[in-house]
Structure 1
Amino acid sequence: MRRCLGLMMCCGLLLGGIGSAGAAAPKTAVNTVLVLGDSLSAAHNIPIESGWVFLLNARLSNMVPKAAAINASISGETSLSGRNRLPALLQKYHPSVLVIELGANDGLQGLPLPALRDNLAAMIDVAQKQKIRVLLLGIELPVNYGPQYRDGLRAIYADLAKTKRTGLVPFLLESVALDPAMMQDDGLHPVASAEPKVLDTVWPQLQPLLK
């Protein structure tokens, strides 16, 4: 397992505080992207304007027609708490695309994989019933969780993306996790200068969902 990622997951993502939730999307936006994630999407310990979701919003605002991103991520979020919050978020922001970046904290807590899958599937179903397109952002766990759990986690994202016909990024930190210079001193989160690389990992799978 990647050294940097192993440290990140072993130490955990269970950090307090609320991520930067964006204001309501401008009325001129054709597409609104709602990001529901944990500290990896909540710009932890870096300026909000450096986070990949903020950078995404800047990119979307330059599109023609305009689009917008709403960051509803919270540090420490689990799939269950995200599932519980999602209906109100959809009612408030009426997104056209939902990005789900959850699962790391479930793994750290040893949540049974069927429960994690059920929570993710429920969020996808709620969104798709409202004609909202979905993108899953996958995470990885360290080797000490064993191949059965780690492989099972990967399989959940891949299977849900296939059966529910969602977009999929297999590993959000693929482009930065191996480079210590790209990670904060805590070994948990990307530094500000690495956030554009995180966005570049997400963008190829997100862009096709922006009709």
Structure 2
Amino acid sequence: MAGAQTPPSNASAARSLKLVAFGDSLSAGYNLPGSAAFPTVLEQALRQKGLAVEIVNAGVSGDTTQGGLERLDWSVPDGTDGVILELGANDALRGVDPALTRKNLEAMIVRLTERKIPVLLAGMYAPRNLGEDYAKRFDAIYPELAKTHGLVLYPFFLEGIAGDRALNQADGLHPTAEGVAVIVRTILPTVERFIASLPPRS
């Protein structure tokens, strides 16, 4: 009889955790085979740690925060346990007003929160050639949103590879497969902390 009372928890334990990597070309795996894209490599790293996790690649090359906001609802399906939100790099490259980038990111965070889907916010820094004022305003977006909404924050998605020619493609903007491996290795402890913070699944 005791065994008859346990199937719900056993069933939930057997189900893989479903995360969505929602971002631009940096998470989509621009110019790389699917096996070398950030979501796939991260999923493998988490599985090696014994975590049953499935990560959907919802990265779209060239996407801005505005584009992300417009596709959010259909890109993040019901039943998603958490979202890694990695957007904003293209806003900075285009010189979009940081106030608009902030507004779009916050709208996405609020919409996901309303759906009870936790968010790990992956931050970005503005290119320094846009000037000190722009960089200061843009860089502040991510830590301030994380603080306001109580999110797990990874301050800089390109930590460990930015500016390193050996870890970036010829354009100097997109990681090579080796670069993705560095990103995953560096972000992994934060993702593990995020997963540990997720509410129990029903």
- Partner of residue 89 from structure 2, selected from 104, 110, 119: 104
Q: TM-score, normalised by structure 1?
A: 0.81
SS in 2 for 1:210: helix
SS in 1 for 2:69: helix
CA deviation after TM superposition for structure 1 residue 84, in Å:
1.1
Per-residue CA deviation, residues 24-77 of structure 1 (Å, 9 max, x unaligned), is xxx943421101111111111121101221111223345555111001000001
- Taking the aligned partners of 1:117 and 1:174, their CA distance within structure 2 comes to 21
Check the 8 A contact 2:93/2:127 in 1, yes or no: no
Q: Which has the higher contact order (CA 8 A, sep 6+)?
A: 1
Equivalenced residue count is: 184
Amino acid at match of 2:53: A
Identity over aligned pairs, percent: 36
Q: 5+ residue gaps in structure 1?
A: 1-26
Q: CA distance change for structure 1 residues 29 and 197 in 2, over 3 Å: closer, same or farther?
A: farther
- Taking the aligned partners of 1:195 and 1:184, their CA distance within structure 2 comes to 11
CA deviation after TM superposition for structure 1 residue 153, in Å:
1.0
- Partner of residue 187 from structure 2, selected from 202, 205, 210: 202
Check the 8 A contact 1:60/1:68 in 2, yes or no: no
Q: 5+ residue gaps in structure 2?
A: 1-12, 197-202
Tell me what 1:54 maps to. Answer: 40
Amino acid at match of 2:111: V
More helix by share: 2
Q: Which moved more, 1:173-182 or 1:156-165?
A: 173-182
- Partner of residue 151 from structure 1, selected from 136, 148, 152: 136
> RMSD across aligned C-alpha pairs, in angstroms?
1.8
Q: Which has the larger radius of gyration?
A: 2
- Partner of residue 152 from structure 2, selected from 147, 167, 171: 167
CA deviation after TM superposition for structure 1 residue 143, in Å:
1.9
